[in-house]
Structure 1
Amino acid sequence: MPETFKNYIDGEWRDSETGDTFEVSNPADDADVVGEYQFSSAADANGAVEAAAAAQDEWADTDAGTRGTYLREVAKHLDDREEELTELLVREEGKTRTEANGEVNRAIDIFYYYAERAMDYNGEVLNPTGGNQNLYYVREPMGVAGLVTPWNYPIAIPAWKMAPALATGNTVAIKPAKRTPNSVRAIFEAFDEAGLPDGVVNMVTGSGSEVGNAIVEHEQVDCVSFTGSRQVGETIYEQATDDHKRIQTELGSKNPSLVMPSADVAAAAETVGAGAFGVTGQACTATERVLVHEEVYDEFVDHLVEYAEGLEVGPGLDDPGMGPHVSEDQLETTLDYVELGEEEGATLEYGGERLDGDEYDGGHFVSPTIFTDVESDMRIMQEEVFGPFVGVMPVSDLDEGIELANDVEYGLSAGILSQDHTEINRFIDEVDFGIIKPNAKTTGLDLHVPFGGMNASSSETYREQGEEGMDYFTIIKTVYDNY
C-alpha cells in the first residue's frame, strides 16, 4: 500500500475534510505509486488561508535575523536529505537523476540565499530637501501570500516563491501542482523540523479549480503568485485583479534560438539540442523555434539530428539523456502536435514517436522531435508544445532572424549563437524577451538575478528571484520624520 500524505495547516498534518485522496505514479512506470495525497476542498483551502492570516502579524513582527535563521534551518534539513529528495523528484516528475539533483540543490541554495538577504532588505535612508528632517522608506510585508505552483519544477519554483515571501514577513498558503505534490511536502517537512511558528506556512493539495481558486479568491489573501499555463494564468490574473490583489504570473513561451554563420555549427546544434530536449522539453524556457542562417542551415540540421539520435531516452532513475513526459496527457499533447505538424505540411526530420517495449512499457516516453520545412505562422511554430519538440527554419540574414524571433505572442527566453558581438548586441536590443542568452541554451538560470517574461509570457508586473523576488512581497512606506 502506498503511503498517504496529509495537508499541512496551522502547524499540523491534517486529513482533508472530504476524506478523498488521489494517487501520484512514477512517469516512467505507472505501477510505481509514489504516494496518496489529500483531494482537498475549498473549505480546506480556506482553513489554510485563515491560519496564515492569524499568524501574519506575529510573523511580520519577528525580526529579520530570526526569519533568516528559520530559512537557514530549512535549507540545512533539505541539504541533509539531498539524495533522498533527488530520487523522490525523479519518481514524481520523471526528470533524469542529474536534472533532479540540480533542481534539489537549486531549492537548497534558494533558501540559503534568502536567509542571508532577509538581514539586509528593509529600506533606505535618503537626504531630505529641507533641514531638521529624517527621510527614509521601509518595506513592509504584503500579508498573506497565495501561491499556486506548477509540476515541471516541483521543488525549485515553490522554493523561489516561498523563501522570499517568508524572508520579508509574509505568511503563505500554497497549492502545489496535483501531479507533483511530494516535493512541496518535503519542503513542509523541513519547515516543520525547523520549528516555524504555527500558521506561517500552509499547504493544501488537490485540484486547481477547487483549491487553487479558493486560495486566489479568499478575501484574506493579499497577493497571488502563479506559475503555469497561459490559459489558467490569465484566468487567475482576472480573478486577482477583480479583487484588487497584487498579482504575479509567469506563463508559457515559444522560445527561439538564432544560429548565425559565425557560430561553431556543431557546438550550436549541441547547445540548441540541450535547450530543446533537456528536462524532456518540459520547461517554460525550453527552445522550440530554431532560426538558422541559410548558409549553415543544412549543416546545422544534420548536426541537430545527430544530437537527437545520440540522446538516450529512459527512466530517470537510470540517469539517461532524457526522461519521460510527466503524464499520459502530456505525452498525448506532444504526439498530437507531431500529427499536426505533418498535417500542416512540415517535414518530420527525426523522432516524434511514442517509445514502447522493454523499459518503456508503463511509462510516458517519446523520442525527441525535429521538424523542418516549417513556416512561422504554423501552429507548431506558434503554440507552446511543452515537450522535446523543435521546428527549424532558415533565415536570410540577422534582420529576418530578429523579425522571426519576435513573431510570437510570447516573450520569455531567447538565444543567439554567434561570434559577432555586433549581431549579439543587436539581438539583445531588438528582441522582445525577458531573458536573453547569447551562446547558451535558453534554459538554465541563476537564482540571484531577476526572472520573468514579456508579452503573453508574463503579467509583466514583478520579476521573480533575486532582490526583485522580495520586492513583489513587500509594500513601501515612506517616512518624513521632522524634529
Structure 2
Amino acid sequence: MATTLNYINGEWTESESGETHTNYNPADTTAAIGEVQSSTAADAQRAIAAADEAASEWAATPGPERGAVLRETGDLLAERKESLVETLVSEEGKTRAEAAGEVQRAIDIFHYYAGKAADIGGEIKESSARDTTLSVREEPVGVVAAITPWNYPIAIPAWKVAPALAAGNTVVLKPATVAGITGSKLVEALDDAGLPDGVLNFVTGSGSVVGGELSTDERVDAVSFTGSETVGDIVYQDAADDQKRVQLEMGGKNPTVVAEDADIDEAVEIVGAGAFGVTGQACTACSRAIVHESVYDEFVSGIVEYAESLDVGPGLTDPDMGPQVTQAELDGTLEYIDIAREEGAQLATGGSRLTGGDYDDGYFVEPTVFSDVDPEMRIAQEEVFGPVLSVIPVSGFEEALDVANGVEQGLSASIVTENLRKAHRFVDEAEAGVVKTNEKTTGLELHVPFGGMKASSSETYREQGDAGLDFYTITKTVYLNY
C-alpha cells in the first residue's frame, strides 16, 4: 500500500516519526486506499525553513512567469482529471459528479489566478508636490501557511495556494489527514509544472502538531485556515502571539427562507440540493428551512418526498448522495439526530444509519428531515455537518428574518420568493457573507469574494476573486522625488 510522502524543498520525503495513518474508502471500509504520514513538529519546521529560504527569489520572479507555472498546473490537472476524480471519490466519498465538479473548480482556479499574476503590481497616484511620483505597490506577505479541511480536498487547497503563489508568496500546505492523498495530487501537478524548489511545501499530520507549528513559528507571516470554529479559534490565538496575518473560514448554520409567495416545487429543489448535496458536508450546506406557515405543510410534504427519492450509495456508482467521510462524522450526525428527537422535533423522514448490502461496510446515513423544529433547539443552532435538515415554521417575513439571523454563524443564506421587496430586504438584512435569492446556499462563483460573518469567519479577508489576493499582499506606498 502506497504511503503519501511530505514534499519539502522540491523532494518527496519521509517523516521523522515513521508513523502513518491509513485512509479507507468511506463507502467500503474494508478497502484501504493508502497511508498518510503522521508528521512531526520537526518536519513542519523543515518545510517552513524551505519556504523561508525560497521566499526572496520567488517574490522577485516576474508575475507573468509565476502565472505560467499556475497555468501549466491547471492544464496538468485537466489532463489528470479522471484519475483525480477517482482518488477524491475513493478517499472523501463524494459522488462521481460532485468530485468532477470539484476537480474542475481547482482547474478553473489555477487558470484564473494564472491570468491575475500578471496584473499584480500597484497603481500611480497624482502627488500634491511637483517633480514627485507617488505610487502604491502590492508586495507578497512572505511565507504563508495554508491549513485545509477534508470536505473539499482539492478545491480549497487550490483557492488558497493559487492566489498565494500568484502574489509571490511561498507556501506550506497542511491538508486534513483523511484527505491527504488527494491533496498530494495537487502538489504533484505543481511540481510537474516546474514550480521552483521550496516555493510550495506539503506536510501531513495532526492539527495539534503540524498545524500548531505553522501557527506559532515566527518565520510564518500569514495563516489561512478553513475548518471548524473550535480549531479556528485555537489557530487565531496561536498566530496572534507574533501578530501574524490570519484568515479564518469556519462553519455555518445556513438558512433558506421559503416565503408564502414562493413556488413550492422550486423551493423544495433549492432546499433539497442545498441540504443533501455533498452529503450535507459543506460549510455552506442548508441546515435550516424557515417556512411560512401558509405553505408549511406543502413544503414539508415536498421535501420529505425529495429526501426519500434520493439514491444513496458508493460515490463511484454516481448516486445522488454518498457516505459520510469517517465513522466520527457519521457518529456526530447520528448523535444530533438523537438530540433532535429528545428535544421534541418531529422526525419526518430518515434518521437512521443505512445497513444491508453495500451499506454495511460504509458510513451511510439516510437523508433526514425534522419538522416542527423550534429555533432555539440545538438542532437549529449548532452545525451538524451531515444530511440533516430542520424545518422551522414562521408566521411572517419579520419572524423569518429574525430566525435566520438568530444563530452565532453567518456564512450563507438564501430566500425563495417572487416578491422583489422581500428579496431586497433579505439581501440588506441577512447576517451572512453570502446571500442568495432563489438559489441554494451552496455553490460559489470563483471570481467574486467568499467569506462569512460573525463566528463563521475572522472577518478580516475574503477568499477567491480579486479579493482573494488581498490577504496575500501587503501595500507599500512610494514617494519618488526626482
Is the TM-score greater than 0.5? yes
Cα-to-partner distance string for 1:238-267 (whole Å, 9 max, x where unaligned): 111122000000000100000012211011
Structure 1 consecutive aligned stretches of length 4 or more whose deviation exceeds 6 Å? none
Match of 2:127 in 1: 128
Match of 2:390 in 1: 391
Q: Which amino acid aligns with 1:432?
A: E
Match of 2:149 in 1: 150
2:306 matched to 1:303? no
Match of 2:459 in 1: 460
- Work out the CA distance in 2 between the residues paired with 1:444 and 1:73: 26
2:258 matched to 1:256? no
SS in structure 1 opposite 2:178?
A: coil
Q: Which amino acid aligns with 2:302?
A: H
Cα RMSD (Å): 0.7
Match of 1:37 in 2: 36
Q: How does 1:312-327 map to 2 (within 5 A)?
A: 312-327=311-326
Q: Is this contact kept in 1: 2:84–2:103, CA < 8 A?
A: yes
How far residue 129 of structure 1 moved from its aligned partner, in angstroms, is 2.2
Match of 2:428 in 1: 429
Q: Which amino acid aligns with 2:262?
A: A
How far residue 130 of structure 1 moved from its aligned partner, in angstroms, is 2.8
- Work out the CA distance in 2 between the residues paired with 1:410 and 1:5: 35
* Unaligned residue ranges in structure 1 (runs of 5+): none
2:286 matched to 1:293? no
How far residue 103 of structure 1 moved from its aligned partner, in angstroms, is 0.1
Cα-to-partner distance string for 1:177-224 (whole Å, 9 max, x where unaligned): 011011210011111111211100000011111111111111100000
2:170 matched to 1:165? no
TM-score relative to the length of structure 2? 0.99
SS in structure 2 opposite 1:180?
A: helix
Q: How does 1:22-421 map to 2 (within 5 A)?
A: 22-421=21-420
**What is the aligned length?**
482
How far residue 291 of structure 1 moved from its aligned partner, in angstroms, is 0.4
How far residue 401 of structure 1 moved from its aligned partner, in angstroms, is 0.7
SS in structure 2 opposite 1:119?
A: coil
Q: Which amino acid aligns with 2:201?
A: N
Match of 2:438 in 1: 439
How far residue 474 of structure 1 moved from its aligned partner, in angstroms, is 0.6
How far residue 141 of structure 1 moved from its aligned partner, in angstroms, is 0.4
TM-score relative to the length of structure 1? 0.99
Q: Which amino acid aligns with 1:119?
A: A
SS in structure 1 opposite 2:410?
A: coil
Q: Which amino acid aligns with 2:40?
A: S
Q: Which amino acid aligns with 1:153?
A: Y
- Work out the CA distance in 2 between the residues paired with 1:200 and 1:471: 19
Cα-to-partner distance string for 1:18-75 (whole Å, 9 max, x where unaligned): 1111111110001111111211100000000000000000000000010000101111
SS in structure 2 opposite 1:466?
A: coil
* Unaligned residue ranges in structure 2 (runs of 5+): none
- Work out the CA distance in 2 between the residues paired with 1:233 and 1:183: 22
Q: Which amino acid aligns with 1:250?
A: E
How far residue 418 of structure 1 moved from its aligned partner, in angstroms, is 0.3
- Work out the CA distance in 1 between the residues paired with 2:352 and 2:266: 26
SS in structure 1 opposite 2:117?
A: helix
- Work out the CA distance in 1 between the residues paired with 2:303 and 2:126: 58
Q: Which amino acid aligns with 1:63?
A: P
Q: Is this contact kept in 1: 2:71–2:114, CA < 8 A?
A: yes
Q: Is this contact kept in 1: 2:374–2:392, CA < 8 A?
A: yes
How far residue 481 of structure 1 moved from its aligned partner, in angstroms, is 1.3
Q: Which amino acid aligns with 2:272?
A: G
